[in-house]
Amino acid sequence: MIESSGKLLALLLDSLTDTYALVLNQDYQIIYANAPFLAHFKFRGSEVVGRHCFDLVGSFTPGEQGPAAFCPVTVDPCHPTRTLLTREDRGEKFFYEATFYPLKRQKPGQWLVAVFRDVTEKAGLEQQLRQGHEVERNLVQASIDGIIVNDIKGNVLIFNEGAAKILGYAPGEVIGKMNAAQFYPPSQAHEIKLKIYDPSYGGVGILENYETLAVHKDGSLIPVWLSARLLYDDGREVGIVGFFRDLRERKRLEEQVLQSERLAGLGKVVAHVTHEIKNPLMLIGGFTRQLGRLSELPPEGRRKLQIIQKEVQRLERFLADLGSFTRVAPPQKVPGSLVDLIREVAELMEASLKERRVEFHLESPTPVPSISFDPGQIRQVLINLFKNALEAMPQGGHLTARVEVTEDGLHLTISDTGQGIAPEHQQEVFTPFFTTKEGGSGLGLTICRQLIDQHRGDITIGSEAGQGTSCHIRLPLNRF
C-alpha cells in the first residue's frame, strides 16, 4: 500500500482520466496503480500492487524493450525515460508513449512514476502526414518534367530527377548550394521573374508555357518550355516553383519536318534546273574538248579552254550533288562491321592522306558488334567527312576515327587537328548550300545528315577555331 505521504500523489494520479500511471519503488515493485490504468489494461488492484513490474504481463507487442513493457529499460536521474509501445486489441493497433519519472523522497529510497499515454491518434496523423509527404515526394521525383523549387532569394530547395536529367546536375550538387538564376543565361532569370508578375502570361504570380533557354552543366543552351508559380505562406511570398520540359527532341523533329518540306519544294526546282542546264552543259563540254584537240590553237586560247573545261566539270559535280541531295533512296540495310568499312575508306583515301601528310588513327576501346546499315550510304558519309578533314589540314595533321558502344547505340567520332570552324559558322554547317570553301557546293554535310537520319541516328559537329573539329555520329545497334 502506498505510504500516507503519497496519498496526495495517488489522488492526483487518479484524477488523470486519460493518463495511465504506476508508482514503483526502488526495487521496481508496483506500490500503486491509478484507476484509469486498471480499467484500461483490465487489471484488478490485487493483481498489480506488490508485484514486480517485470512480472506484470501485458498485451504489448514485443519490441526492442522486450516483453517487460511496464518497466523502464534505463532510468536517467536527470531526465525522464521515454519509450514508444504498441499493442493490438481485436485486430486494431494502439500506440502508447511510456514515460518514467524518478521522484526523490525525504526517506531513503526512490519512487519511479510510470506514465502511459495513448498516442494512437497522434501516431496515425503522423503516419498520414509521412505518407502524404512520401506520395508527394514520389510524384515530384517521378515526373519526367524538371521541377525546381527555390526560396524568394533563389536558393534551390527541391531539384527532382527530371531536372537532373535535363540540366546534367545531381540533386546533391544543387540543393542548398546553387541559386536558380544559375540555370538561365545572364539576365534571363530576372526577365522570367518579371513575367511571373505580368498578368498577360497567365495571371499575377503565374507563368504559363513560356519558351526560353536553360543552361546545362556543360554550358550548352537547352530549349525548354517553362511554367512557374509563386508560393505563398499566410499571404507572404516565400518562393517559386518552376516546371520545365525539354524541347530538344521536339525542336529536332520540327527541324526534320521543315527540312523535308524544304527538300520537297527544292526537289521540284532542282529537277527543272538540272534538265535546263544539263543538256547545254554537255554541248559546251563536248565542243570544248573538240577545240582542245586542234593543233593550231594558240597557247592563250588553249589555256582559256582548260579553264572552261574545269568549270564545266565543277558544274557537273554540282548537278550530281544536287541529285544526291534531292533524291536520297531509302537505305538498303545489311549486317556488317562499321570498323571494317572505316578501314576500307581509309585505304581508299590512302594516297590523299599521304599527299596531305595526314596520319590516320582508328580507335576502338570497346568490342564493336555487327550492326545493320546501308554500306553505300555510310561509305558516302565517311568519304565526305574524311575529305572535309583533309581540306581542314593543308599543312598536315592527325585524323582519328573512334568507335565505341554504349547502351544507347554505336558512337563514331571523327576528329581532325585542322583549322576548326569559326563560332559564327557552327550553327550553319548543316544548312543546304552553306559553305566557306571556294568552289564548294555546301551540300556535303547536309547529305551526311540526311543519310544518318534515314538510319535513325544522330550527327553533330563540335569545333574550336584553330583547334580542330569533331563530328559525332550515333547509330542504333539494330541487333539482328
**Other residues' Cβ atoms within 10 Å of the Cβ of residue 86:** 16
User: Can you give the length of the chain in residues?
Assistant: 480
Residue 269 cell numbers, joined: 526546282
B/e letters for 449-459, b = 16+ CB within 10 Å, e = fewer, are bbbbbebebbb
| pLDDT number for residue 65 | 47
Domains 4-125 and 334-475 share a fold: no
| pLDDT number for residue 264 | 62
For residue 267, pLDDT over 70 is answered with no
Confidence of residue 322 (pLDDT cuts 50, 70, 90): low
Topology of the domain covering 4-125: Beta-Lactamase (3.30.450)
Distance set, CA 367 to CA 308, 334, 339, 404 (Å): 51, 20, 10, 8
**CA geometry: angle at 331 spanning 327 and 332, to 5°?**
125
pLDDT by residue (tens digit) across 211-265? 899 999 988 888 998 888 888 888 888 888 888 888 887 877 777 666 666 666 6
Given a contact cutoff of 8 angstroms between Cβ atoms, the answer to whether 21 and 35 are in contact is no
- End-to-end Cα distance, the chain: 88
Confidence of residue 290 (pLDDT cuts 50, 70, 90): confident
pLDDT by residue (tens digit) across 345-399? 998 888 889 988 999 999 988 788 888 998 888 988 898 899 888 988 988 999 9
Given a contact cutoff of 8 angstroms between Cβ atoms, the answer to whether 457 and 475 are in contact is yes
| pLDDT number for residue 129 | 55
Residue 466 cell numbers, joined: 584553330
C-alpha–C-alpha distance, residues 204 and 195, integer Å:
9
Residue 128 cell numbers, joined: 498520414
Q: Structure pTM? A: 0.43
User: Looking at the domain that runs over 334-475, which CATH code has it been given?
Assistant: 3.30.565.10
Given a contact cutoff of 8 angstroms between Cβ atoms, the answer to whether 214 and 221 are in contact is yes
For residue 292, pLDDT over 50 is answered with yes
CATH superfamily of 143-246: PAS domain (3.30.450.20)
C-alpha–C-alpha distance, residues 415 and 471, integer Å:
6
Confidence of residue 328 (pLDDT cuts 50, 70, 90): low
| pLDDT number for residue 461 | 86
pLDDT by residue (tens digit) across 166-217? 899 998 899 889 999 999 988 888 888 888 888 877 778 888 888 899 999 9
For the chain, the domains span: 4-125, 143-246, 251-326, 334-475
Mean pLDDT score of the chain: 79
Q: Residues 6 or more apart from 51 whose CB is under 8 A from it?
A: 29, 30
For residue 83, pLDDT over 90 is answered with no
Q: Residues 6 or more apart from 325 whose CB is under 8 A from it?
A: 263, 266, 270, 432, 443, 446, 447, 450
Q: Residues 6 or more apart from 185 whose CB is under 8 A from it?
A: 213, 215, 221
Task: From 398, 374, 370, select the one nearest 469 (Cα to Cα).
Answer: 398
pLDDT by residue (tens digit) across 37-63? 888 888 888 888 888 887 776 667 655
Given a contact cutoff of 8 angstroms between Cβ atoms, the answer to whether 377 and 454 are in contact is yes
